[in-house]
Amino acid sequence: MSGLFGMLSVAARSLEAQRFGLDVVGQNIANVNTAGYSRRTVDFAALPPTSPLNAGGGVEVQGVRAIRDALLDRRLWQERPAAAMQGAIADALSIVEVALGDPGASLDAALTEFFDAWGRLSEDPTSTTARQQVILKGEALATSFADMTGRLTLAQRDTDTRIRGVVDQINALASEIASLNESIAKGVAMGTDVQVLRDRQGEAIKSLSELVAVDVIAREDGGYDVTFGLGRPLVIGASDFQITATPVGPSGLVTLSANGVDVGGEITSGVLGGLLQVRDTLIPGYISRLDEIAYAVATEVNTRHQAAFDANGAAGLAFFDPPAATAGAAAALAVNAVVAADPALVAAAATPDPGDNSAARDLAALRDSRVMFGGTATLHEAWGRLVYQAGTDTQVARQEERTRREIVMQVEALRDSVSGVSLDEEAAGLIRFQRAYEANARFFTTVDSVLQTLLTMVGR
Amino acid sequence: MTRISFQTEFRHALADIERTAADLMRRQREVSSGRRLQAPSDDPTAAAGAVTEHAAIGALDRYAQAASSVEARLRLVDTVLGDIIEQLTQAQAVATGALGDTPTPAQREAAAMELAAIRDALFGDLNTSFRGVYVFAGTASTTAPFVRNADGTVSAYQGNSSTIAVDIDRGREAQVTFDGGALVQGGDPQDVFQIIETLRADVLAGDTPAIEQGIAALKRVFDRAVQLQSEVGADQKALETGAIRLTSEKLAARSRLSKLEDANMAEAISAMSRAETAYNAALGAAARLTRPSLMDYLK
């Protein structure tokens, strides 16, 4: 009699175990689209018999495991920063490319028109209109340089604004990871299920690794310590160490510091690394190249203009305001206000004779003179090299991003093959647990029937 | 055995759609704009090359405009020199007619008057200006090279011996103003106006040896005018051939630029069609994510 009642207990435990299995399948299906969710699997164990006349105690649920591969998670956190960095560079530079304009319709067109004006003046050196045109085209060229510098500086500021946003995101994620570290440590100590917290933590580190390259070290209490740059702490246990973005100098661009140390130079990967490279290296490089061209325009034109004679037979003044230095020459380029106010002061003659046009011809011929980069390039070619440089930087970043993204996709696919939810697999699980539940229910009714038979016999 | 999760399928399908959609959009823009080069990063070398070609075309346009303007000036100079030659020929004929004892005083008077008219015509010719620039004044192009004195005679040359040249191509120039002094006087002791004035007096006086000297002096001016006209003619000829070369150079630069910037439409349309097929395939493949699964068989 006691054996039959024991069998009823076995059937009841088994029904509960299969129901729990179905529950886990339901949880997996429910989270098929949850980012960072690792599939769960239920572990059953057979209970041993308690006496020689007992087949066994049935089944018990040992626990639920989240299927993860720490190595693949770690690999993913390592691969994402490089792809994200190249993507950030390419995105930021695509704005720079727009700023540079189309070939033949940008700064190069202004250069062409400026030299054309000198050419027209050489045809008619005494014409006031032609002199006025030289001044107007000189002013237009100066405006083109200033506008171009303005657009590049704006792109630099936009990148800086994005850097501030990314730093905020990094700090928020660091806080979240620290908070999760605390909850996980408590959960582990109390023996409660921390799998959901681990999923969220994995996802937070994944997001963080896109923004900045991080080193992740597992803690004994179940959490993670996170460092960046040259081992700068970002999260240690339940504490997070914020990165500070402080606007500095007249430019107002932010410098990044952690615990009072400038860390800008240490961040060389992730979205933040890419944005820093664009803001601090690439765009300043383009502006510097632009300054070199503007400096050459101003000094070369001025040298020729000052060696020439104006319409009054007097020695020519500087045509452009002489640049103080190469740096800032593009933004500062302007036609000398004295010359701009009086077309007669445009110097077209190589002699005091106002009818001479030699200087104007010489200035018009400057378009073909190799005055840039140690006499290896014309002004137009120097502009072409700047366009080439920006184009190549963008192209390389895009190609590099594609390659890196492909690697990330492969690693994610590997991670998913371990941790991801397969609906077919879950459907099979549904069948498995449903059938097992049905069989156990049948076992229960069979034992119940046997018990009824026995009770009927006793009742007689 | 590799497990295929729903997330993997979805992520890959989405990545393929995004990649093919981006490619299709780029191809569509290429076809609709006719431009291969949308941004420098599409082909940095071509973008830099396009900058150089645009600059080359700009310079060629400028030279073509300069050549056209020079051509108009030289045409005028050629016409004026033709007239000067005609006037000098006429002056020599008139002086020759006055040689010997045959001409009557009235005929000598008429010849002297005709020489005065020729002087005035030459004065007008040598003071020719093109858009306010005196073409026979050297670089003193805003100053009339000759002015009339109160007694009706003509002043000495007021211009200078320098001349203005305009660039009509790289390393090629054409002279657009001329040294009137060298033309009318050259190495002679008198300029053409002084020769005519002397000749007029000699004609009236019937001084045959002096008239013969005057005719010889006019002949030297005539020779210099013919020489200058042939030089101008040679420059005009060079301008014509130069214009042809500039046009063909510009066509070549345009063709190079087109290869750098413009889409090859047949190739672009074909590429767009392929990109569209790839995009449709990616969409179709993604739609198959709702393929039959084991879930469908659960009752």
Chain segment B23-60, per-residue pLDDT in tens = 999 999 999 999 999 899 999 999 999 999 999 999 99
What is the DSSP code (8-state) at residue A38? Answer: P
pLDDT of B292 > 70? The answer is: no
Please judge whether A108 and B54 are an interchain contact, meaning their C-beta atoms are less than 8 angstroms apart.
yes
pLDDT of residue A355: 84
What is the least distance, in Å, from the CA of B62 to any CA of chain A? Answer: 6
- Chain B residues whose beta carbon lies within 8 Å of the beta carbon of residue A392: 41, 44
* Residues A344, A346, A351, A355, Cα dihedral to 10°: -60
- Using an 8 Å CB-CB cutoff, list chain B residues near A381: 51-52, 55
Q: What pLDDT sits at residue B299?
A: 60
B40/A417 touch (CB, cutoff 8 Å), yes or no? no
What does the pLDDT read at residue B1?
64
CB contact under 8 A, B40 and A112: no
A388–B48 CB contact, under 8 Å = yes
**pLDDT for the residue A52:** 82
Residue A24: predicted pLDDT: 95
Give the pLDDT confidence of B156-170 residue by residue, as tens digits: 999 999 889 999 998
Q: What integer pLDDT is reported at residue A4 of this predicted model?
A: 82
- pLDDT at A172 (0 to 100): 98
pLDDT tens sequence across A360-369: 999 999 999 9
Mean pLDDT of chain A: 94
pLDDT at residue B278 is higher than 90? yes
Q: Which residues contact B194 (CB under 8 A, 6 or more apart)?
A: none
The whole-chain average pLDDT of chain B stands at 91
Contacts of B139 in chain A (CB under 8 A): 349, 351, 353, 355-357
> Is B206 an 8 Å CB contact of chain A?
no
pLDDT at B136: 95
- Chain A 388-417, residues with CB within 8 Å of chain B CB atoms: 388-392, 394-395, 398, 405, 409, 412-413, 416-417
User: A94 vs B39: CB contact, 8 Å cut-off?
Assistant: yes
A325-357 tens-digit pLDDT = 999 999 999 999 999 999 999 999 999 887 899
Render the burial of A22-54: b for 16+ CB within 10 Å, e for the rest.
Answer: bebbebbbebbeeebbbbbbbebeeeeeeeeee
Percent of chain A scoring above 70 in pLDDT: 99
Q: Say whether A422 sits in a helix, a strand or coil.
A: coil
What was the pLDDT predicted at A137? 97
How many CB atoms are located within 10 Å of the residue A62 CB? Answer: 11
Mean pLDDT along residues A418-426: 89
Helical spans, DSSP H, in chain B: 6-33, 44-97, 105-126, 180-184, 192-205, 208-261, 265-287
Write out chain B residues lying below 8 Å of A354, CB-based. Answer: 142
Q: What is the pLDDT of residue A36?
A: 87
| Interface test with chain B among A34, A112, A120, by most B beta carbons within 10 Å | A112
User: Distance (Å, rounded) from C-alpha A120 to C-alpha A139?
Assistant: 17
The percent of residues in chain B predicted with pLDDT above 70, rounded, is 97
Q: How confident is the model at residue A206 (pLDDT cuts 50, 70, 90)?
A: very high
Contact A394, A93 (CB under 8 A): yes
- Of chain A, the percentage scoring pLDDT greater than 90 comes to 85
- The Cα A32–Cα A76 span in angstroms is 20
Closest partner CB to A364 (pick from B131, B141, B167)? B167
* pLDDT tens sequence across A53-75: 888 889 999 999 999 898 999 99
**Interface contact B85, partner A, CB < 8 A:** no
Q: How far is A32 from chain B (nearest CA, A)?
A: 7
- B120-133 in b/e form (b: 16+ CB < 10 A) is bbbbebbbbebeeb
- Residue A136, pLDDT > 70, answer yes
pLDDT number for residue B94? 95
Cα Dmax for chain B: 143
| pLDDT attached to residue B141 | 84
Indicate whether A80 pLDDT > 80: yes
The contacts of residue B35 (CB under 8 Å, 6+ apart) are: B261, B262, B263
pLDDT of the residue at A385: 96
Mean pLDDT of A32-39: 90
Paired residues of A217 in beta bridges: A225
pLDDT at A1 over 60: no
Nearest chain B residue to A118, by CA = B62
Which chain A residues have a beta carbon less than 8 Å from that of B138?
A: 355
Residue B34 half-sphere exposure toward CB, CA atoms < 13 A: 1
d(C-alpha B215, C-alpha B219), whole Å: 6
Q: How much is the pLDDT for B132?
A: 84
Picking from A112, A356, A392, the nearest residue to B162 by CB comes out as A356
* pLDDT exceeds cutoff 80 at B290: no
Please, what is the angle between helix A70-100 and helix A270-277, to 10°? 30
Grade residue B239 by pLDDT with cuts at 50, 70 and 90: very high
pLDDT (0 to 100) of residue B100: 87
Contact B184, B126 (CB under 8 A): yes
